[in-house]
Chains A and B, each alone.
Chain A
Amino acid sequence: MKTDRRGFLKIGGIGILGFAARPLMDVLLKGDLVEASPEADALTGKRWAMAVNVNKCKEGCRDCIAACHSVHNVPDLGNPKDEVKWIWTEPYKKVFPEQEQEFSTRGNKPVVVLCNHCDNPPCVRVCPTKATFKRRDGIVMMDYHRCIGCRFCMAACPYGSRSLNWRDPRPFIKKINPDFPTRMRGVVEKCDFCGERIAKGLIPACVEACKEKALVFGNLKDSGAEVREVLRASHTIRRRPELGTGPQIYYLV
């Protein structure tokens, strides 16, 4: 049989279509093998927040910082330039620059600071890869798999709550907690409100570690929650609310 050009192109075209059949079938007939169900105590309808009682916070005590940093494999690089921090202290006048009073003794006293898990987080807005995002329960979360280390979020965060791993952190972690991943060089990390502990029904590690009960964690949407009681009972201030970020860490000063 003599094949002319038209015949050759027809057979070729049908042949190529045949190659496409398998992937097409895979897409159309894909089984639902991978599926997930929400947990019984799913976090819908919650808004996590924290209250910090600065007056109860004992000077020199670093229990919350130690607990957080050991649970989350935060490296101790021993160098303030490379420092990675999730929860740390800052002098009062730097935490509340607009609240400094000339004759107050508070000025240089340390205040515990951490990520504010803002209602309107600027870091989320600027992240080009959506590596940082706000969960429905208000936690501003990091997806280290997606972070490209551009540090836009660090520039956008008015509280300095984010740190870049300039070096491989593993050698600088004294005792690695196998339940939490370490990070790698070139990703930004921050406090995640112990999302992994909340999922198991535990309170954040810093709150648990505080013997003075200076830290109160809870659900703002629950009117009976301890954190709501604290907010009702006393005057609280937040860090730089005038910026419109809506910080969700409340300070009793």
Chain B
Amino acid sequence: MYDTAKIMAGIIIFLSLITFPVWYNVVGGKAAYIPDLKIVTQEKQCVESTGYMRTNHMQLLNEWRNTVVREGNRVYVASNGKKYDMNLSRTCLKCHLNKADFCDKCHNYVEVTPTCFNCHVVPEERNS
């Protein structure tokens, strides 16, 4: 093989440049940052388990949306048998009434901009 040293050096320089944002955040201590969510509700349990909601709330909401709008069915039976009204503004935001401190913090962190609240109304935010 010819010019091994030059090629290896080139690869190392390339990799270090491309991973620079990662290193920069690790050194700056930003990598360990996770958003600090405020849960203001007294309720012990969401419609499903916390872990499920954390990873799958978007799929669940999508499912709710399709069931309500397209099938006209508004009752959600949770895995524990409890029934919920499939309603973003009423059911979800009843507990998570601090959208800015709950929804937005994570969404900003992972840079996703769901369009839910372009139409769905956030009841007046209350802080407690």
Contacts and interface: CB of A to CB of B under 8 A. Distances in A.
Interface string A1-20: 00000000000000000000
Given A181-B121, A183-B119, A33 B79 contact: yes
Contacts, number: 62
Contact of A37 (B48, B75, B115, B120): B75
Given A34-B60, A133-B70, A179-B89, A39 B123 contact: no
Interface residues of A, number: 29
B73 A39 contact: yes
A43 B69 contact: no
Contacts of A199: 72, 74
Given A178-B89, A179-B89, A36 B121 contact: no
B36 to A, nearest CB: 27
A132 to B, nearest CB: 11
Contacts of A137: 72
Nearest to B87: A179
Interface stretch (A101-109, A141-149, A225-233, A243-251): A141-149
Interface in B61-86: 63, 65, 67, 69-77, 79, 83, 86
B120 A181 contact: yes
Contact of B65 (A145, A176, A177, A178): A145
A182 B121 contact: yes
A242 interface: no
A58 B74 CA distance: 36
Contact of B75 (A39, A133, A135, A139): A39
A80 interface: no
B107 interface: no
Contact of B77 (A35, A176, A177, A180): A35
Contacts of B89: 178-179, 181
A39 B70 CA distance: 15
Interface of A: 33-39, 42-43, 73, 133, 135, 137, 139, 141, 143-145, 176-184, 195, 199
Interface of B: 48, 52, 56, 59-60, 63, 65, 67, 69-77, 79, 83, 86, 89-90, 115, 118-121, 123
Closest 5 CB pairs of A and B: A181-B119, A178-B121, A184-B118, A34-B63, A181-B120
